[in-house]
Amino acid sequence: MARTAKSTDRKRAAQSVKAARKIKQPQKPSEEPEKILFRVEGKMSTFGGPLDFGMQPDEGLALFSKLDLEDPKYADLFLPAPPPGTSGLGRRLNPNKFYFACRWNYLDTPKEFLRRSLACVENPQNGRKVDARPVDWGPYESTGRVADLSPGLAAALGLNTDDVVTITISARRAIPVKAARTKRAGHGSSNPHAKPAIKEFIESPNHSSRNGAKIDKIVLHCTEASLPSTLAEFKKSEGRQVSAHYVIDRNGEIYQMVKDSDRANHCMGANESSIGIEHVGGENDPLTAPQAAASAALIRWLIEQYGIPRTNIFGHDFTPGYSRPGGTSCPDKLFGAGHAQATIAAWVEANV
């Protein structure tokens, strides 16, 4: 009995030493939930390619330009040659490739970020998932849809027009944007476009508070006067007391007269939520080439900076809320011969 007890004690002691020497394995940390950068769910439709006759022959894409046709990262999104009678990238999209459009807020998801991202596009009814690239902004909110898909993408997911789709861009699938290749408007800004050079800031006294209103539209004007006359008129504190945020001369030089954060007096009934851009010219003058380039660059910066939809760029006479009795001929023929918002929209689509 004594021998057995001693043997048992030695065995227990050895087990205790072994247990003491045993290294505890660290617990595996729980996996953090995936960070979602963009997500939308709702009805869809299809767009793009030679047979999309809802797109104009010269209609472009919000996220890509013709320079991207030479970039091997993006060239396969497009057909080798434009369809007959077309010049825009919209109809040149390869309908069999997987691409899509959503109504992006470029402050949250800048254009350069979207160009480098892959999204997970899912049919929630059958669970099919496919990776696809963002290529454009749309569809309009009035359609009741949240996304437009390529015909090939819709077919792969088993979707038909007005079916529900889910689109997600996660941090793991997004390709980081290299800061060195991103033009920034200022410290902490996500705007990929640099603000065009301002020739001079000449403050107009005719401005006031926006009273908390968000900037959500841009109004385009024709001065119907020379640059000196326009600047002088906007500096007057008596009389009509008119002003605009920017004035673009015929040579493309840009003058700023009211801070973006302030309300300028340029479009009665729509001043609190808009930016006004005057273009020097007469009633029958088109924009000069330098003037058009400067205007397009400024508009690009503004829509990125303030998250303004491209559809919210208006000619003076066509601005929602504009309330001057009798209207106005402004912006005259600067952006095209037809006095219509469609003329403005066509110019924006072709240039901005």
CATH number of the structural domain spanning residue 153 = 2.40.40.10
226 and 250 share one domain: yes
Over 60: is that where the pLDDT of 83 sits? yes
261 and 134 share one domain: no
Over 70: is that where the pLDDT of 17 sits? no
Over 80: is that where the pLDDT of 2 sits? no
Predicted confidence band of residue 12 (pLDDT cuts 50, 70, 90): low
- Asked whether residue 93 is assigned to any structural domain, the reply reads yes
- Asked whether residue 267 is assigned to any structural domain, the reply reads yes
Domain endpoint, select from 158, 180, 202: 180
User: Residues near 342 by Cβ (< 8 Å), separated by ≥ 6?
Assistant: none
- Asked whether residue 29 is assigned to any structural domain, the reply reads no
Q: Which residue has the higher pLDDT, 206 or 18?
A: 206
114 and 53 share one domain: yes
- Asked whether residue 186 is assigned to any structural domain, the reply reads no
Q: Where are the beta strands (DSSP E) in the chain?
A: 36-46, 99-102, 119-122, 129-137, 147-149, 164-170, 200-201, 207-209, 217-222, 246-248, 254-256, 262-264, 274-279, 313-315
Instruction: Name the domain count of the chain.
Output: 2
204 and 338 share one domain: yes
Domain endpoint, select from 180, 212, 233: 180
pTM equals 0.50
Per this entry, what is the length of the chain? 352
320 and 176 share one domain: no
116 and 210 share one domain: no
**Amino acid identity, position 255:** Y
Q: Determine the structural domain holding residue 98 and report its residue range.
A: 36-180
Is-cis flag, bond preceding 331, omega within 30? yes
- Asked whether residue 280 is assigned to any structural domain, the reply reads yes
CATH number of the structural domain spanning residue 257 = 3.40.80.10
94 and 217 share one domain: no
Coil, strand, or helix at residue 256?
A: strand
Coil, strand, or helix at residue 185?
A: coil
User: Is residue 131 within 8 Å of residue 169, measured between CB atoms?
Assistant: no
171 and 200 share one domain: no
240 and 145 share one domain: no
166 and 250 share one domain: no
What percent of the chain clears pLDDT 90, i.e. is strictly above it?
65
User: Residues near 305 by Cβ (< 8 Å), separated by ≥ 6?
Assistant: 107, 185, 189, 191, 195, 260
What is the structure's pLDDT at 174? 59
pLDDT per residue as tens digits for the range 18-56: 554 544 445 554 555 668 889 999 999 999 999 999 888
Q: What is the mean pLDDT of the chain?
A: 86
57 and 176 share one domain: yes
Domain endpoint, select from 139, 157, 180: 180
220 and 289 share one domain: yes
Predicted confidence band of residue 294 (pLDDT cuts 50, 70, 90): very high
